[in-house]
Structures are given as C-alpha cells and as structure tokens.
Structure 1
Amino acid sequence: MSNIGIIIEERAADIGNFMVGRLLPFRQKRMVGPFTFIDHMGPAALNEYENLDVGPHPHIGLSTLTYLFEGAIMHRDSLGTEMEIKPGAVNWMTAGKGVTHSERTPEYLRHTDKVLHGLQIWVALPKELEECEPSFEHTNAEDLPHWEDENGVSYTLIAGEAFGKKSPVSVYSKLYFIEIKSKNKAKISIGNDLYGESGLYILDGTITDSGTTFESKHLLVAKDAKLCEFEIGENSKIYIFGGEPLPEERYILWNFVSSSKERLEQAKQDWINNRFPEVPNETGNIPLPEFYLNK
C-alpha cells in the first residue's frame, strides 16, 4: 500500500521579472513540518540583457534557505551582509522581528549569458522566536555532511538532523532537508531516520512507490514519515524535507509569516510606512502588491 498522502504538481508563479515553480503552500497542505514555502527557480537561461533583480523586500517570522544547482545570486540585507551564493552552498537568513534583503545577479555576470537554477525555501520559526533578532549565516558546500550508501546512492544533509548526522546550518526547530542522488536504480529505505511530517520533491528523474512511478516537478507528501521506502530511478535527484510540525497555525501575508494575523497587519503597515530597516547600497524597495492592500 502506498505511503503517499498528497501529490502536488509544480505550479507556475511570477515573482517579478522571474518565473518560478511553486510547491508550497498548497491548498490541501499549507506546510510540511515547519516548511511553509518552496519555490523551484528555473532552470532559466538568461542572456546578456537578462538578470535576476529582486529588489529590497521585507520578511518577518521565518528563516529563508537558498540552495542553488546552477548559477549565482548576490544576497544583500539590512544587517549589512553581502554574500554571493553558488551551487551546493547554503544561505540561511533569519528574519525574526524584521529584515529587508535583495537578491540579484552578481555584477560580474550581468553582461554575460548565464543559467540560474535552485530552490528558495521559507521555514517558519517557533512562536517564541518569531520576534528574535535577525541574523544571516552562509555555509559552504564542503562543510555539509556528504556520504554514500552501499548502492552508490549519494546523500547530502543540507539542514537539520537525520541519519545520526547534523548539518552546521543553525536551524531553530527539529527538521531535515536532504539531497539524494543516484546514477542507477536503487531501493531507498530511510523511514527510521525521519520524523514528523515528510515531503519528497523530485527534481530530476523518477521515483517508484508501490508500483506507481512519479516524474520530476512533483512533490509527494507522506502519510507517515517512518514508512519512507521507494525505488529511485536512474540519473535521479530528489529532496526530502520535513520535521516536527509547529503546534500553532501559521499565516502568510505576502512575504510575512506569523502565528498572529495582527502581527501580519503590523508588518504590512510598517513596510508601507518605511519602518523596516534599509539595505545598504540599495535603492528602489519593492512596494506591497495592490492585492494585499485590503487583506
């Protein structure tokens, strides 16, 4: 019997001058563990006149996780951080009570052809930490736990704890975000290493569960994380994520996440009235979309 409870197909979404594939939130499943938002960026081939330019915008109540497969992004924030992220590394920004940041193509790539491909993820903070001081952390690819099993399947623990290992990324609740790659078909049985709620995103290739094969650009949400067994197909790359769900419901308004609707309204008014901190050496804040003005 299949352990898959919900199947979510990637949906197109516009984030300004860039199209993405949205995975979470979904109407039937708003969160998986503390993961509240996942966008698949690209793969996008950008010519010498095209660049990623997501100007200064605000967040509260969450941590952002940026993980690239190809390309590069320059992150700048109101803490004074300027950090380029490249494939395999992790940018982890905790918004807490409020932060502003931008994401752009680095200057040295702006007049060349390039490719951008990766994941943008939001992880909700525990209620007691929603108003913490904002922070930023960068972890290099070589500092993440990497290993192979007896079938030649390779694993990377990008964030959190699983398999008796711990990522150096400073998370704030029990969670995991795991990359699994295989050149050959192989049986995967990792249920005893997972906990809480669990989702599986197929980036490339296929997985087969109870005789049914699922292809790329699908997110599969398990009924029970401890029953995670499947066959990974040839030349496949998948991401398993989840963890202990937070006890309170989380609400989203634009780029804000909170357990309190009143706090979302305050954040909205703070952005409208320029009360968020500014990003050094940046101009042109992204205005609150009209859709949210009367929300």
Structure 2
Amino acid sequence: MSNIGLIIEERAADIGNFLVGRLLPFREKRAVGPFVFLDHMGPAKLKDYQNLDVGPHPHIGLSTLTYLFEGAILHRDSLGTEMEITPGAVNWMTAGKGVVHSERTPERLRTTDKSLHGLQIWVALPKAMENIEPSFFHIEAKDIPEWQQDNVSIKLIAGKAFGKESPVPVYSPLYFIEIKSTNPATLNIGKDLFGDSALYILEGEIKNDGNTYTSKQILVAKESSLCQFEMSENCTVYIFGGEPFPEEHFIYWNFVHSDKVVIEKAKQDWIDQKFPKVPNETEFVPLPQPKFK
C-alpha cells in the first residue's frame, strides 16, 4: 500500500509583479508540521528592465526562509537589516510580534538580464513564541551541512536530521532537506524523519510503490517513518516537515497566528501604519481586501 496520502500540484499565484508556483497552504492540507506556506519562485528570465520589487509589507507570528537556486534578492527590514541573498545561502527572518521587510533585485543587477529561481517558505512559531521580538539571521552556503549518502548529495538546510543540525535558528522540531541525484538512486530515510512529512519534487522523477511522480508536485506522507523512494538521474527533491502544533494556526495575508484577535489587530495596525518602518523605503504594500464580504 502506498505511503502517499495526498498529492499537491503547484498552482500559479500572482504576488503583484511576479508569478510564483504556490504549493502550501492547500485546501486539504493547511500545514506540514510547522510549515504553513511554500512558494516556488521561477525559474524566471528577467530582461534588463524587469526587476523583482516587493515593497515593504508586514509579518507576525512566523519565520520566513528564503532559499535561492539562481539569482539574487536584496532583503531590507525594519530591524535595519540590508542583506543580499545568493544561491545556497539562507535568509531566516523571525517576525514574532511584528516586522516589515522588502524584497528587491539588487542595484547591481537592475539594468542587466538576470534569472531568479528559488523557494519562499513560512514556518509558524509555537504558541509561546508567537509574540517574541523580531530577528534576522543570514547563513552562508558554506555553513549549511552537506554530505554524500546512498549515491546522492544531501543538504540539511534547516532543523535536525541524520544526526546533524543546521545553523538556522529554528524554534520547533523540524527539518528541511535537499537531496540531489546524478544517477538513479534508491533511498530509505524514514528512520531519520518525524512528525508530518512531505516531499517536493523540483526536477526529475521519483517512483514509490510502482507509481511515478514528476516535478512541481508535493507528496504528503501518511507516515514519515515509511519514507522510501527511487530517484531518477538528475533529480532534486526537498523533504520537509516536523512536529505539528497542538493548536490551529490561522493565516490572513502575511499574518500567521493561533489567535484571530491578534491577526485582526495586526490588520488594523498595518492600515494605520503603526508597524515599524523599513529605513530608506517610503512605499508600502496595502492590506488586501477580501474578495467576498
């Protein structure tokens, strides 16, 4: 019997001036462990006059993880951070009680042809830590644990697995793992996983119990300890998950919290521009209005 409980197909979503592939949340699966949001950006080829410009917008109650395959993004936030992220590195921003940030094409690339490809991920915070002070960490690519195992290359981008730990400062038990194959490979890694678990196929194919699955799909496991599959050559997958929270976390726009009252206050605070400002940024993304009232 297959261990795959749900297949989620990538869906196009418009974030204002850029199309992304939305994977989480999904109507039948709002979260995988603490992971509540996953966007696949690109791959996009941008002309010399096209740039990523996501203006200042707020977050509460979560951590964001940005991981690029190609290109570069300049992150600025209300803590005063200004950091360019490039492929293989991690930007980890914890919003806690509230932070504002922008994401733009760096100045050095704004008048050149360029590529952009990567993942944007939101991780909900445990109830006791939803309102902590905001923070930002940048982890260089060279500091992410990477090793060879079972004829594949593995990176532990965040969390704990395989007896190793990523330097990304997470707040609950989780894992976010990259696995790349050059030649066909068979893996059985369930003993290293826990909680909810899902597998995202970026490129290539995997086989499980006689079924073949292709890129731009998330496969949600019924049981993390039964995670075993065959990878095609030149395949890249991301396995993510962890311990789910006992309470539901709600999402409205960029706000994630276990208390809807807190989300309502954040909405009004953004309308009233009571959030902290991003230095040297004057514009902002307005609060979206519900499609139906």
| TM-score under structure 2 length normalisation | 0.99
Contact in 2 for aligned 1:157/1:166 (Cα 8 Å): yes
- 1:62-85 alpha-carbon deviations (Å, 9 max, x no partner): 000000000000000000000000
1:233 aligns with: 232
- The one-letter code sitting in structure 2 at the alignment partner of 1:163 is F
Give the CA RMSD over aligned residues. 0.9
Contact in 2 for aligned 1:80/1:279 (Cα 8 Å): yes
1:99 aligns with: 99
Deviation at 1:289, TM superposition (A): 1.2
Mapping of 1:59-74 within 5 angstroms? Answer: 59-74=59-74
Structure 2: distance between partners of 1:257 and 1:292: 19
Deviation at 1:191, TM superposition (A): 0.4
SS of residue matched to 2:108:
helix
Sequence identity percentage: 71
1:28 aligns with: 28
Deviation at 1:116, TM superposition (A): 0.2
1:78 aligns with: 78
2:220 aligns with: 221
- The one-letter code sitting in structure 1 at the alignment partner of 2:252 is L
Structure 2: distance between partners of 1:99 and 1:293: 28
Structure 1: distance between partners of 2:264 and 2:110: 37
Deviation at 1:283, TM superposition (A): 1.5
Summarize the Cα distance change of 1:71–1:3 in structure 2 as closer, same or farther, 3 Å threshold: same
1:3 aligns with: 3
Contact in 2 for aligned 1:254/1:292 (Cα 8 Å): no
2:206 aligns with: 207
Deviation at 1:152, TM superposition (A): 2.3
Contact in 2 for aligned 1:251/1:257 (Cα 8 Å): yes
2:161 aligns with: 162
Deviation at 1:130, TM superposition (A): 0.3
Deviation at 1:86, TM superposition (A): 0.3
Stretches (4+) displaced over 2 A = 290-294
Structure 2: distance between partners of 1:293 and 1:244: 34
SS of residue matched to 1:115:
strand
SS of residue matched to 1:39:
strand
SS of residue matched to 1:128:
helix
Contact in 2 for aligned 1:253/1:292 (Cα 8 Å): no
SS of residue matched to 2:138:
strand
SS of residue matched to 2:290:
helix
Mapping of 1:20-59 within 5 angstroms? Answer: 20-59=20-59
Summarize the Cα distance change of 1:293–1:171 in structure 2 as closer, same or farther, 3 Å threshold: farther
Runs (5+) with no aligned partner, structure 2: none
Deviation at 1:259, TM superposition (A): 0.2
2:89 aligns with: 89
Structure 1: distance between partners of 2:291 and 2:164: 41
1:135 aligns with: 135
SS of residue matched to 1:280:
coil
Structure 1: distance between partners of 2:292 and 2:126: 27
Structure 2: distance between partners of 1:293 and 1:262: 20
- The one-letter code sitting in structure 2 at the alignment partner of 1:213 is T
- The one-letter code sitting in structure 1 at the alignment partner of 2:267 is K
Structure 1: distance between partners of 2:291 and 2:155: 38
What is the aligned length? 293
1:15 aligns with: 15
- The one-letter code sitting in structure 1 at the alignment partner of 2:176 is F
Structure 2: distance between partners of 1:138 and 1:293: 39
2:244 aligns with: 245
Deviation at 1:292, TM superposition (A): 7.1
- The one-letter code sitting in structure 2 at the alignment partner of 1:220 is L
| TM-score under structure 1 length normalisation | 0.98
Deviation at 1:148, TM superposition (A): 0.3
